[in-house]
Structure 1
Amino acid sequence: MADIADFANDLVQERIDQALAARNAAKSASVIHSFLFCEGCDDPIPEGRRVASPGCTQCVQCQSIEEQREARHAR
């Protein structure tokens, strides 16, 4: 049988979900421009990448390294 603590937890979780959804919606709407230069190595980011991936901040090589690093830490 559910008690008041269960209802409170459900309400808090619902509010967190709503806040995260609003944050993600605002975040994707605000990220429009890509960097001209990679924040990792300062090399120019090719126009094709900037067009294909709006909001990118790294060149393909630095982005690949970052994703590999994140994948290793996620384990």
Structure 2
Amino acid sequence: MVDIADFANGLVQEHLDQALAVRSAVKPALAAHSFLFCEACDEAIPEARRLAELGCTQCVNCQSITEARRARYAR
């Protein structure tokens, strides 16, 4: 038998799930600004890259190195 506390917890969880879904749907629009300078090497990120890859934080060279390292350690 479900008591009032279980019902309330279920209701709160449902509201939290809905709020997180809304936040996730809006999040890409909030993270659309690219960095002007690479966070790894401090070189300027070309405008073409910033427009092509919204939300980028690294130049092409540093991003390539980061992805290669991730691929190596993912094995």
| Post-superposition CA distance 1:11-51 (Å, at most 9, x none) | xxxx8xx68x8364343221111000000000000000000
Instruction: Among all aligned residue pairs of Structure 1 and Structure 2, give the percentage whose two residues are the same amino acid.
Output: 62
Q: Please, what TM-score do these two structures have when normalized by structure 1?
A: 0.66
1:51 aligns with 2:51: yes
CA distance in 1, matches of 2:68, 2:25: 26
Query: Which of these two proteins has the greater Rg computed from alpha carbons?
Result: 2
Counting only pairs closer than 5 Å after superposition, residues 1-75 of structure 1 correspond to structure 2 as 22=21, 24-75=24-75
Q: Please, what TM-score do these two structures have when normalized by structure 2?
A: 0.66
Structure 1, unpaired ranges of 5+? 1-14
How many pairs align?
58
RMSD: 2.0
Structure 2, unpaired ranges of 5+? 1-13
Runs (4+) of structure 1 exceeding 2 A deviation are: 21-27
